[in-house]
Structure 1
Amino acid sequence: MNGCVAVLDIGKTNTKLVVFDAAGKVVAERSQVSAPLEPDAEWPYLRLDTERAWAFYLAALKHFGAELPIEAVSVAAHGAAGVLVTDTGVAAPPMDYEFDGIAAVDTQYDALRPPFQESLAPDLPRGLNIGRQIFYVERKFPKAFARARAFLAWPQYWSWRLSGVMASEVTSIAAHSDLWRPMEGRLSSMVERLGWTPLFPPLRRAWETLGPLRPELAAATGLPADVRVICGAHDSNASLVPHLVARSDPFTVVSTGTWAILMAVGGKGRLDPRADMLMNVDVRGRPVPTARFMGGREFAFLAGDHPAEAREADVAATVAAGVMATPAFSDQGGPFAGRKGRIVGEAPNTPATRTALATLYVALMTAHVLELLEAPGDIIVEGGFNRSPAFAAVLSGLMPGRAIAVAATSGAAEGAAMLAHWGKPHAPPRLVSAKAWRIPGLAAYRERWERAL
């Protein structure tokens, strides 16, 4: 455990390489914005740009490997992508889940997908159920589908490119995919019915070493030949890892980025598929009640291109003026995805007031979804919303009596790094108690917002 772990952190919006030292401290980081490839004559659907990301990762590994003793590479990646592969490459390039044209197969697919009671995955728009992506390729590109040897979920696609070893992993194939029975721990009836079972490589644990870095990659990056490649995990589940190791059930993690993913570890609440509630599976294979909404995307819509720092005075002024945003500002995911968002009252016209309204909105949505989920225990906020203290401060004000803490680091990358040393002692994640902003009239403001839903 004297070396560093390099983490490929592959989100919807950003592609990152984060390097952690043996003590779990971030010692290097590099990122680039992710952008899909537009449809073309060969592949007429929106695709993920794997080769741009691959070139970025090789360059970053080479750069940081020259300075730091990297001994393992791990992966955390979002849960709405996967790749049909041959022995040597892709059978069909991976789809961006925002591709509208996938609706062409909806009628056929919806007749075949497993019932919610089995998969505990709601019927999601576009390609957010990755089973729908596989089905689209099978129906629209049968020759490409016939070439496929395996389907690799997004984290395991990258660990395969690094190690040459194919694997399935439960957090990835169980993430609102229609591919898994979380309460039984096996592939869904749809997978069996469509004859897809042979496409899934053997299950490996998220923390397992798949093998060393492929020799040609070690040569290209200058990394040692014995660098271990870790199987990896779905990013939201990776964000749970530091807390799973450090505390007992029950507790709730709010993982924030493009999506706000709320995970009730030890939760017993009823799941409502109409509210985008589902069952994830953690790295240990245990079901975790989960709810989601597209918080980062909606915040960006409301805050504008140049958001300011949200200040307590600006949030208080917004509350006093009665200006509020009601959902939804994304048509993907969340309990209100079918509604069109609106601003009640005079629309904000400065960066500060727009950011204040955006902060109130995502905090109100989070509080609402936490209650739908009947989320138990302490609430831990991690990820992008922690760049400013405003979100946790407003959320704490909206939920008096609940213990809310802020994680000092981004859990997905940290959790993926911890997988490389699973079972070894780890320092608990550093948490800071959120200090509620005492905003006059906030409780009444929330009541009016709830009535407007």
Structure 2
Amino acid sequence: MGDKATAVFDIGKTNKKFFLFDEDYQEIYREYTKFDLIADEDGHPTEDLRALTNWMKTVFNRILKTKKHTIKAINFSTYGASFVHLDDYGNVLTPLYNYTKPLDQNLIKGFYEKYGPKEEFAKTTGSSDDGMLNSGLQLYWLKHYKPEVFKKIKYSLHLPQYLSYIFTGIPLSEYTSIGCHTALWDYGKKDYHNWVYQEQLHKILPPIVSTETSVNMNYNGKRIKLGVGIHDSSAALLPYVRSIKQKFILVSTGTWSIALNPFSEKALTDDDIQKDCINYMRINGKPVKASRIFLGNEYGIQVKKLTQHFKVPEDYHKKVKFNFDIFFAIIKDFEHCFRWESITVDNMPKTTRYSYDKFEHAYHQLMIELVLLQVEHIKIATAGDTIEKLYIDGGFSDNDVYIKLVSHYLRNMELRTTDSSLGSALGAAIAISDSKLNSKFLRKNYSLKKHVPFILK
């Protein structure tokens, strides 16, 4: 019969991953693939949905035949802001439009004239004005710019739910996909926003179920529990919510650095909206306050420039450790030196100036300035609550300078880092599991480490 296992398809924009987890959530198998992008009818690059679905079916059918493992359940984690539109026969009607595809500004302007004002709309829906990244506006665009296609839509499925539909044939919606900056949800009303009903879009959105819902079915002669899918950011948060009893902030670092507060009870304020704060959604429909900054992207830009300026190897920055003497020398007469290219702040200089003759000094200056921005966004996510626990995962979790500085500037919080490249995949497995997580889960599965602020001289 083989070991009992849960299968997860974890679909990112670049890497498509398949995992098997045992009953203790230990990874026992993985495989990755990538697909070349194709173009939609306007020439904009987009996901090759046909290649993706064929690969998923092939992988799953092969795994089911193996005698090494007995697959008991399967779930799906994917990026958000993406819809698959189906006709009456379950056929896919359009390309999987990329959320980077630009929308006509006249369409957006007309939308807010009808359903705005923009700031109030953003507070209500927890979604800043982000064009196609507000996937609800994709439906609005289809209705008004491609009416012949729109008339044929029987169901519009968020991408995680479409991947589930491939295997179940049951069209469903769930909270985490609805709640990720789609502009569809009214967080105060806990229902679709009025504009969704006025545009009659609710008729093509399938019934909403809990993210923990699963469908028990006979698949190719095997009795399997199939999950309904989950948005990847909400999936990555789930192991923390399930295993930590006290309030906490999770900072998920990478190209974007997103500070997540799953305990915020307050609606977004005008100030939050000005600072690009949005809401995600937990699996039970509760909001997650999210303050995001393009930190990893900016870090990559500036480190490349520093590397060229100081003529050091490309990966030299990875070897730099926190140095107390350099830090204290910089903050003694601190001035901002870097002009950002992908972040806009008031206090940045007109041009970047290097005041040092060593890479290590300039690197510490860069990290201090970036971490000060990071700390500001963590405080925004905290929303005035007393939250003493802070978790950091992702790319910066093993950057010694970043961690030492965050620990220093947020000395009132207990900082812990976690190391798991499986975050969203594990979350998807946990979402359809009946087992409880205890306080040792993160230590066992995520290499949990505690960090103590350095002693001030």
Indicate the RMSD between aligned Cα atoms, in angstroms. Answer: 3.5
The answer to whether the 8 Å contact 1:5/1:420 transfers is no
Closer, same or farther: CA 64–386 of 1 in aligned 2, 3 Å: farther
CA distance in 2, matches of 1:71, 1:243: 24
2:330 paired with 1:301:
no
Query: Any unmatched runs of 5+ in structure 1?
Result: 219-223, 331-335, 441-453
Q: Give the partner amino acid of 2:56.
A: Y
Give the 3-state SS of the residue equivalent to 2:208 in structure 1: coil
Q: Which segment is superposed worse, 429-438 or 133-142?
A: 429-438
How far is the alpha carbon of 1:329 from its aligned partner? 1.2
CA distance in 1, matches of 2:32, 2:326: 36
CA distance in 1, matches of 2:336, 2:36: 34
Deviations, residues 135-171 of structure 1 (Å, cap 9, x unaligned): 2222222221111111111211211123221111011
Aligned to 1:135: 140
The answer to whether the 8 Å contact 1:5/1:19 transfers is yes
Deviations, residues 267-303 of structure 1 (Å, cap 9, x unaligned): 3565321211123221112222222223333333334
Give the 3-state SS of the residue equivalent to 2:413 in structure 1: coil
CA distance in 2, matches of 1:37, 1:153: 20
Give the 3-state SS of the residue equivalent to 2:183 in structure 1: coil
Q: TM-score, normalised by structure 2?
A: 0.80
Aligned to 1:445: none
Aligned to 2:175: 170
How far is the alpha carbon of 1:326 from its aligned partner? 4.7
Aligned to 1:20: 21
Give the 3-state SS of the residue equivalent to 1:9 in structure 2: strand
CA distance in 2, matches of 1:7, 1:227: 13
Q: Give the number of equivalent residue pairs.
A: 425
Aligned to 2:264: 267
2:280 paired with 1:280:
yes
2:95 paired with 1:93:
yes
How far is the alpha carbon of 1:314 from its aligned partner? 7.6
Deviations, residues 408-453 of structure 1 (Å, cap 9, x unaligned): 324322211101214545553222113556799xxxxxxxxxxxxx
Give the 3-state SS of the residue equivalent to 2:239 in structure 1: helix
Aligned to 1:396: 407
CA distance in 1, matches of 2:29, 2:348: 41
Give the 3-state SS of the residue equivalent to 2:251 in structure 1: strand
User: In structure 2, which of residues 342, 364, 371 is the aligned counterpart of residue 329 of structure 1?
Assistant: 342
CA distance in 2, matches of 1:349, 1:36: 44
CA distance in 2, matches of 1:229, 1:6: 10
The answer to whether the 8 Å contact 2:168/2:226 transfers is yes
Matches within 5 A, 1:33-432: 33=34, 36-39=37-40, 42-61=41-60, 66=66, 67-86=68-87, 87-103=89-105, 105-113=107-115, 115-116=120-121, 119-212=124-217, 215=219, 218=220, 225-268=222-265, 271=269, 272-304=272-304, 307=315, 308-313=317-322, 324-327=337-340, 329=342, 336=344, 344-346=352-354, 360=368, 362-374=370-382, 376-386=387-397, 388-409=399-420, 410-422=422-434, 424-425=436-437, 428-430=441-443, 431-432=448-449
Closer, same or farther: CA 436–45 of 1 in aligned 2, 3 Å: same
Q: Which segment is superposed worse, 350-359 or 133-142?
A: 350-359
Q: Give the partner amino acid of 1:148.
A: I
Q: Give the partner amino acid of 1:53.
A: L
Q: Give the partner amino acid of 2:276.
A: D
Query: Any unmatched runs of 5+ in structure 2?
Result: 308-313
Closer, same or farther: CA 402–50 of 1 in aligned 2, 3 Å: same
2:451 paired with 1:434:
yes
Q: Give the partner amino acid of 1:280.
A: Y
Closer, same or farther: CA 120–73 of 1 in aligned 2, 3 Å: same
Q: Give the partner amino acid of 2:215.
A: L
Q: Give the partner amino acid of 2:17.
A: K
CA distance in 2, matches of 1:315, 1:130: 46
The answer to whether the 8 Å contact 1:282/1:288 transfers is yes
Closer, same or farther: CA 23–342 of 1 in aligned 2, 3 Å: farther
CA distance in 1, matches of 2:86, 2:360: 47
The answer to whether the 8 Å contact 1:74/1:230 transfers is yes
Deviations, residues 102-135 of structure 1 (Å, cap 9, x unaligned): 5452222222445437633233333211111222
Identity across matched positions, percent:
20
Give the 3-state SS of the residue equivalent to 2:69 in structure 1: coil
The answer to whether the 8 Å contact 2:336/2:347 transfers is no
CA distance in 1, matches of 2:50, 2:327: 45
Closer, same or farther: CA 353–49 of 1 in aligned 2, 3 Å: farther
Give the 3-state SS of the residue equivalent to 1:344 in structure 2: coil
How far is the alpha carbon of 1:201 from its aligned partner? 0.8
How far is the alpha carbon of 1:208 from its aligned partner? 1.0
Q: Give the partner amino acid of 1:428.
A: F
Aligned to 1:447: none
Q: TM-score, normalised by structure 1?
A: 0.81
Closer, same or farther: CA 363–337 of 1 in aligned 2, 3 Å: closer
